[in-house]
Amino acid sequence: MKINFKLSLAINLESRFKKAGPVFFLFVAATILLASQVIAGFPVIQKEKDYIKNLAPNYREWLEIVTPIITGAEKEVFFKLKTDRERDRFIAMFWQVRDPDRETKENEFYKDYLERVRFADEHFSLGSARRGCLSERGYYYLLLGKPLERSIYATYSDLWPMELWFYKGEEQYNLPPYFYLIFYQPEGVGDYRLYYPGLEGPEKLVIPSLTRETINRSKATEIIKRVNAELAKAALSYLPEDQSANFSSLSSQTIIAAVKSLPEKKFATAYARNYLSYKDLIEVDYSHNYIDSSAAVKVFKQDGLNFVHWSLEPDKINFSENQGLYSAIYELTVRVENKSGQPVLSWTEEVPLRLNQQQFETHARQRLAFQDLFPLLPGDYKLMFLLKNKTSRDFTSFETAISIPAESSGSLLSPLLFYHSFSEAKDKQLKAFTFNGHEFLVSARNEFSPAEKLSVYSQLDQRLVLGDKAIVKLILKNMDGSGPASLEKTFGREIINAQGEVWCEPLDLSQLRPGYYQLELSLIEGDKIKAAQKDNLIILSAPLLTAPWVYARLHQPPPAVEWMRMLASQHFLQGNYLEARKILEGVLANSQDQASLLLLAKTFYALSDYRQSLATALSLYERTRDREAAKIIALDYAGLKDWKPALVYLDELLSEATEVGVLNLAAEAHLHLGEKDQALALLEKSLSLIPDQPEIKAKLASLRKK
């Protein structure tokens, strides 16, 4: 039995059309900008056309059919895919993220969309050179679905053939409550096209007559009104309640623009943005079960080290239930790459969740936040988190860029931490968002109920020295930009403690209207701002439960072995072998940590100190029979040109499992010992496993000639 709980928090924000003046100029500016983008985009368009031309027919057809609903991010990612397998998995996920109810077997959106395609092909193909779903009427029908009313005016002597569609608008996406669309057939032949009220005017819909005087807008409106009053109103403006000719262009153009931008507003694209990173890490049966999530990543100092604190919150958690016990087994992969794309940190761990009936019911309305932390050296990085639910075969992911400046540079104030509550940390253990013995309850969404108080925490850099008269200023602004600051508070120097922590008095949110806000914290001395930080938050419209239920690992504080080994590994992977050696020797002076010992052996090998590496690896292998240690031993003997003992370890490794790297090194050992036939057999086996090895192919060809 599969159980799902999901917390859905809605924000009721006003959506209204602005006055004509500033919006009109914004529209004109946007038009000019669009023209420049179109010119600059010609090479990109040509690349897309070349890509589409080389696709199999089924993928070309899919791209054509989903044109109305595919987002820019999704299209960009799809054009980067190289294999049919990648495309098939992407398409499955494309439909899955649009499924309105993932608890049912049937994807209702997919079913409805195929019905839209069928209807458009059946009703909009007549007289067109294209499939009905690819016509302009088809585009809007696929995007918006069936209109509330569809009126056809095809046989009137004064009007070109046309259709009037009437829709209920989705106000949360900046559409009016109701609006019209008109499609007409210019000159009475060919495809129907969308009519633009302000740009074309009603006279465009009227058939010219040799016996009639020149038709102006007013006359054309009268002619249309004799056929149908509602059609005449729509010819002036797509907004039913807007009858002023002064505003017809603004309202109608705004509606058309809002309709065309619907995919970008309605459909989440996080899965598409991250797909290129995780496509090779997800099994086929997971690939279409993507779960949206929220995430936060912040860097704070802890005992002189930079720690990355992170929170990943899936939109839903699927449990299996057995006799009142609820369980879900997760697999978490964290990967950190430098700006060259080289990995500097990577690990995978299992996260088991097991709840009894009472625990399940207690947390049923809360989001679950997976939280942890890790140290990271200064530099520019890309972070990727992949979280797979092995119980329900679904997954979520998050990817972001992060920059950690060197000690002598960077901000003098840490990121702001908005928290719901705090408690005393247990036994001085370290976990995510825990500082100096205080554990903070934070959410990746930064959402707060109006019944809550907003608490803010930050840290001063040790380089920043403040006098006794320094002040801390908080300004909370509504992001719509209207009016003065929503809330402003000033605190004295006393809210900064001896550890350089800023603890602000909680802010009452009950008098603020719901919406998106930005909070800025400034440290001011005299008339000079010494440091400042900003972050965004959301105040909800209803008193909902916003604090998550947190799953976080407990760690020992620095200089615990796990942290120092992690830093040494980062140095090693970035080629800083001497720094790695220094840290590892410090660790091993007080510990016999096997992972650190293995990394030290690898570090000595990278430094070409084969004898020291050999001694280190042998001491580990004698105790543990560790396979990785055996590989280092073989490499060390090879580095020392001592091929017989190298081959002893290589043969033992191959007796346990076949690895291409071990096969190739064993072949090299046999060659140096004059055993050509054995070397040939090993190289042939290596190529049979991985054919794309140019150097091995060349070596094999050379050996066969001798």
- DSSP states along 181-241: EEEE-GGG-S--EE--HHHH-GGGGBPP-TTSPPP-HHHHHHHHHHH-HHHHHHHH-SSTT
Task: Quote the CA–CA distance of 45 and 67 in Å, as a whole number.
Answer: 14
Give the predicted TM-score (pTM) of the model. Answer: 0.72
Domain with CATH 2.60.40.10 in the chain: 291-469+541-552
CA distances to 216, 420, 512, 517 from 487, in Å:
54, 19, 8, 10
Return the CATH class of domain 561-705.
mainly alpha
Summarize the chain as % helix, strand, coil (round to 5). 40, 25, 35
Q: Which two tokens stand for residue 210?
A: 């040799």
Q: Give the pLDDT of residue 542.
A: 83
In the block, residue with structure tokens 């925490």: 457
383 contacts 399 by C-beta, under 8 angstroms: yes
Q: In which residue ranges of the chain is pLDDT below 50?
A: 1-42, 243-249
Superfamily of domain 291-469+541-552: Immunoglobulins (2.60.40.10)
Task: Quote the CA–CA distance of 386 and 151 in Å, as a whole number.
Answer: 50
Burial class of residue 428, CB neighbours in 10 A (0-12, 13-18, 19+): exposed
Scored b (16 or more CB within 10 A) or e, 103-115 reads eeeebebeeebee
Task: Quote the CA–CA distance of 667 and 643 in Å, as a whole number.
Answer: 11
Task: Quote the CA–CA distance of 190 and 544 in Å, as a whole number.
Answer: 55
CA distances to 104, 125, 145, 441 from 114, in Å:
18, 16, 11, 45
Domain with CATH 1.25.40.10 in the chain: 561-705
Q: Give the pLDDT of residue 45.
A: 59
Helix (H) or strand (E) holding 695: helix 694-705
